[in-house]
């Protein structure tokens, strides 16, 4: 996962982009298991994509947002898929 994704984070409260400070992050990469026709494990290899969860605090409104990012090694941070998990779309603070 590229490190410049924080410029693409959007606050789930005030909807400002690029003003978030990352408080915590968790990222995992998928692993592909290749087996022989007999069922024996041949090799495990890391796939070039994964998912990350980012907890960030907006520097404008100071609220926290939890974002899910689906990423791929061959994409730039702008091409990642960003989904705000918290706050829920119907529970935004105005």
pLDDT digits (tens, 9 = 90+) for 28-69: 887 777 777 777 767 777 778 889 999 999 999 999 999 999
Percent of the chain with pLDDT over 70: 91
What is the 3-class SS of 23-59, one letter each residue? EEEEEEEEEEEEECCCCCEEEEEEEEEEEEEEEEEEC
State if pTM tops 0.85.
no
Predicted pLDDT of residue 48? 84
| 60: its two tokens | 């404008």
Q: Identify the band that residue 94 occupies on the pLDDT scale cut at 50, 70 and 90.
A: very low
Predicted pLDDT of residue 90? 63
């Amino acid at each position: 996962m590229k490190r410049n994704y924080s410029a693409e984070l959007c606050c789930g409260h005030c909807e400002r982009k690029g003003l978030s400070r990352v408080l915590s992050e968790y990222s995992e990469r998928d692993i592909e298991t290749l087996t022989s026709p007999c069922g024996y494990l041949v090799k495990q290899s890391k796939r070039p994509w994964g998912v990350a969860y980012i907890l960030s605090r907006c520097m404008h409104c100071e609220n926290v947002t939890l974002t899910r990012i689906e990423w791929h090694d061959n994409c730039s941070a702008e091409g990642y898929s960003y989904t705000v998990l918290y706050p829920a779309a119907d529970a935004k603070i105005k």
